[in-house]
Chains A and B, each alone.
Chain A
Amino acid sequence: MTTSIYTPEMARLVDVEQMTELEKLFTIELPGGRDLGHEPGQFMMVSVLGVGEAPVSITSSPSRSNGSFELCVRRVGDVTNALHRSQPGDLVGVRGPFGHGFPIEKMRGKDLLFAPGGLGLAPLRSLINQVLDERGSFGRVIILYGAKRPQELLFRDELEEWVNSPDVDCRITVDRGDETWVGHVGVITTLFPDVSVNPRNTVAVTCGPPIMYRFVLMELLGKGIPETQIYLSLERRMKCGVGKCGHCQINSLYCCQDGPVFAYAQIKGFEEAM
């Protein structure tokens, strides 16, 4: 029987939830309810047959798999727009999980500072929920989340839980508020001055739009967090997911295989990274 690393497996959409104007949450079940076996930070190649294939980070945590996994998808290109037209019960093609995720073992016993911007919360949520499910293994959990507008905030139920949880220091900001918004207004970096950390014992994790990284890095480095303890999840165009097609290359690195999660120390000298 012919097999190929490029052939997707057809998997069932069991739930589709509209999260914002542009983002939907897709819950997907593998044939036979098989466990995906992913690690937080990895991604899937998702196919809509006849349209194409695109890389999407896995947003669900392995600790909450329940025989399915979740993808939070912004409709922005051909494949994601087609995916948004899919209904529960439909089959979609999936390959993966691919890439290197977050090094959770290196995070145990440490304070964690998460700094997601916008859709960057999707890959970080996988790790955040894994950490919260093993809460005793970690120190402080700080989440600084920024979105452009209040209506673009993702996973609002979970945000509310995190904000109200004594186990989590979760602060949220929006670039521009509206008449109903009573929270913090300002870009994500405006959340940092009020947060004090023990830098040697803190691991920071960030993901967001390309423009955000340099500013967040300045804040993290400014707090004295070592470059080896700052992790970034990067986005790139991908056509294979397995280090062959060349699209995701960052200088000599392949985002799909060497990443998508990198330590800042690892990519500091790679000019194409940001």
Chain B
Amino acid sequence: MSLMILDKGALASLVNALTADYRVVGPQAKGSQFAFGPITDPAQLRLDYNTTILPPKKVLQPPRERLATFTMQGEPRVEPVVETDPTVLLGVHTCDIHAIRLLDKVFSQEYPDAHYLTRREQTIIVGLECLEPCDEDSFCKSMGTLTADEGYDLHLTDLGPAYAVDVATEAGEQLLSRYSAAREAADSDVRRMNEVLSAKWPRFTYRLDFEAAELPALLSTAYDHPHWDELGERCLACGSCTNVCPTCYCFNVFDEVNMALTEGERRRRWDSCQLDEFARVAGGENFREARSARQRHRFMRKGKYIYEKFGDLGCVGCGRCIRTCVASISIVEGFNIIHSTAVGGSGQ
């Protein structure tokens, strides 16, 4: 819609003003790392973060949330619960913006999920252009997520003394005009932003040895690849990779009741296809029993299945699963190994 300029000195007062009316969530320090958390003081906000432990999906699809409340006394009754809170999500890197766009498709297609979508509607996303790679584990450049044209309301690019603010939506425009004194960008600002954006590209490296667009076709021929067995030997089936993944959305649903057994809540929480019981039915049959099959399933979802269903790859190259894996399993290495030693075999 328009490009605005926000002096860095004005950021604190903007954040401060927002906290009065919104739940503000942004990157902040957590030990030696960073995490998205509630910002109550502008000083907590660390827009210089590299990456966060958990992706911002935790704001839109919380690790645990209520789906319904029910009473079990007398005639049982059940009431849906949609938990939401007007939120400004600050400082979302472009890989995570791409991931949220995918989650939007997942939860809106076919059977719309009111829990996610209501929260999403009430969340204003302020993106943040990455000018430096997070670390050696990220591979956003290979996955085409180093920049984003959409999926945010406002998007910040650090120009040194000020941020260029790409105003992408009406909601973003209203927020900026109401809470800040941003000015319209001059030609010189636009030139400066283009310089900054051009200069960032050489700092990032390609980590995938081939085009990401080839992934679905490559994986179509890799169902029987020996790499899955190798991963199965190493994987501890802890589920960390899927927990930290910005596009993993699988969930479990369970009931919790009070001590008097008179009322309770139906909740959902993140689940992981890497856990042993994920595909096991009550009769005992486990349809994905081997760890190798579960790792294959994760790779297939990231590089093929999600693409086939939603038109976007399920991996945005954030590198979180690589950083968190205690068995040093790397999805980008895995993709490269499969590419260099493609052996055939189709599991669809």
Residues of B within 8 A of A6 (CB): 67-68, 80, 113, 115, 253, 266, 268
For A59-95 the 0/1 string (1 means CB < 8 A from B) is 0000000000000001011111000000000010100
Q: Is A8 an interface residue (CB 8 A)?
A: yes
Q: B179: CB under 8 A from chain A?
A: no
6 A-B residue contacts at CB 8 Å?
A4-B80, A5-B113, A7-B80, A77-B282, A78-B282, A246-B249
Known: A7-B68, A7-B78. A270 touches B113 (CB 8 A): no
Q: Please indicate the chain B residues that have their CB under 8 angstroms from the CB of A157 in the complex.
A: none
Chain B nearest CB from A249 CB (Å) reads 7
Taking the complex as formed, is B287 at the interface, i.e. its CB lies under 8 A from any CB of chain A? yes
**Interface residues as binary, B252-277 with A (CB distance below 8 Å gives 1, 0 otherwise):** 11110100010010101001010000
CB distance from B55 to the nearest CB of A (A): 17
Complex formed: what's the CA distance from A7 to B67 in Å? 8
Choose, from B35-43, B140-148, B301-309, B321-329, the stretch at the interface: B301-309
Do the beta carbons of A245 and B80 come within 8 Å of each other?
no
Taking the nearest CB of chain A, how far is it from the CB of B33, in angstroms?
Answer: 27
Chain A CB within 8 A of B201 CB: no
Q: How far is the CA of A47 from the CA of B76 in the complex (A)?
A: 11
- A16 neighbours in B (Cβ, 8 Å): none
Interface residue? A54 (CB, 8 A): yes
Q: Looking at the complex, which of B94-102, B103-111, B190-198 is the stretch in contact with chain A?
A: B103-111
Segment of A132-140, A143-151, A167-175, A232-240 engaged in the interface with chain B: A232-240
Q: Return chain B residues, CB-CB under 8 Å to A244.
A: 106-107, 111, 113, 249, 251
Interface range on chain A: under 10, 10 to 19, 20 to 34, or 35 or more? Answer: 35 or more
- C-alpha gap A77/B285 in the complex (Å): 12
A4-B67, A10-B77, A252-B308 are known contacts; what are 14 more A-B pairs with Cβ within 8 Å? A2-B81, A4-B82, A4-B113, A47-B78, A53-B253, A76-B283, A93-B76, A209-B285, A237-B281, A245-B253, A246-B250, A248-B279, A251-B305, A272-B288
CA distance in complex: A208, B153 (Å) = 51
B280 at the interface (CB under 8 A from A): yes
Question: At the interface, yes or no: A110 with Cβ under 8 Å from chain B?
Answer: no
The answer to whether the Cβ of B202 comes within 8 Å of any Cβ in the partner chain is no
A:188-222 near B, CB below 8 Å: 209-210
Does B282 lie within 8 Å of A8, measured CB to CB?
no
Chain B count of residues within 8 A CB distance of the other chain: 54
Cβ contacts under 8 Å, B261 to chain A: 50
Answer whether residue B223 sits at the interface, using C-beta atoms and an 8 A cutoff.
yes
A242 beta carbon closer than 8 Å to chain B: yes
Alpha-carbon distance between A199 and B198 when the two chains are bound, in angstroms:
66
A237 to B287, CA, bound (A): 9
A20 on interface, CB distance cutoff 8 Å? no
Residues of B near A271 (CB, < 8 A) are 223, 347-348
Question: Is the CB of B58 closer than 8 A to any CB of chain A?
Answer: no
> Mask for A229-264, Cβ within 8 A of B = 1, else 0?
000000111011011111111111000010000000
With CB as the reference atom, state the residue of chain A lying closest to B224: A271
Cβ–Cβ < 8 Å partners of B168 in chain A: none
Check B114 for interface membership: any CB of A closer than 8 A: yes
Known: A239-B253, A245-B252. A3 touches B80 (CB 8 A): yes
**B297→A249 contact, CB < 8 A:** yes
Contacts of A252 in B (CB 8 A): 300, 304-305, 308-309, 348
Chain B neighbourhood of A249, CB < 8 A: 273, 279, 297, 305
Query: Which of A5, A78, A80, A91: most chain B CB closer than 10 A?
Result: A5
Contact status B271-A8, CB under 8 Å: no
- In the assembled complex, the Cα of A240 lies from the Cα of B255 at a distance in Å of 14
Residue of A with least CB distance to B345 = A271
The verdict on A51 contacting chain B, using a C-beta distance below 8 Å, is: yes
Beyond A52-B254, A236-B287, A251-B348, is A5–B281 a contact (Cβ under 8 Å)?
A: no
Q: Which of B79, B252, B297, B300 has the most chain A CB atoms inside 10 A of its CB?
A: B252
A37 an interface residue at 8 Å Cβ cutoff?
A: no
Say whether A265 faces chain B, with CB atoms less than 8 Å apart: no
Inter-chain contacts of B115 with A (CB < 8 A)? 4, 6
Question: Could you say which residues of chain A place their CB within 8 Å of the CB of B347?
Answer: 251, 269-272
Partner of A50, one of B70, B278, B305: B70
Give A250 to B68 CA distance when docked, in angstroms.
29
Q: Is A104 an interface residue (CB 8 A)?
A: no
In the bound complex, what is the Cα–Cα distance between A242 and B250 (angstroms)?
12
A257 to B252, CA, bound (A): 17
**Which residues on the B side are within 8 Å of A74 (C-beta)?**
283
Q: How far is the CB of B69 from chain A (nearest CB, A)?
A: 10
A residues in contact with B300, CB < 8 Å? 251-252
Question: Contact mask B235-249 → A, CB, 8 Å, 1/0?
Answer: 000000000000001
Assembled-state Cα–Cα distance A47/B252 (Å): 14
Q: Min CB distance, B65 to chain A, in Å?
A: 11
Provide the bound-state CA to CA distance between A5 and B113, in Å.
7
Alpha-carbon gap, A210 to B281, bound state (A)? 11
5 residue pairs, one from A and one from B, having the closest CB atoms: A77-B282, A246-B250, A242-B111, A4-B80, A252-B305
- In the bound complex, CA of A8 to CA of B68 (Å): 9
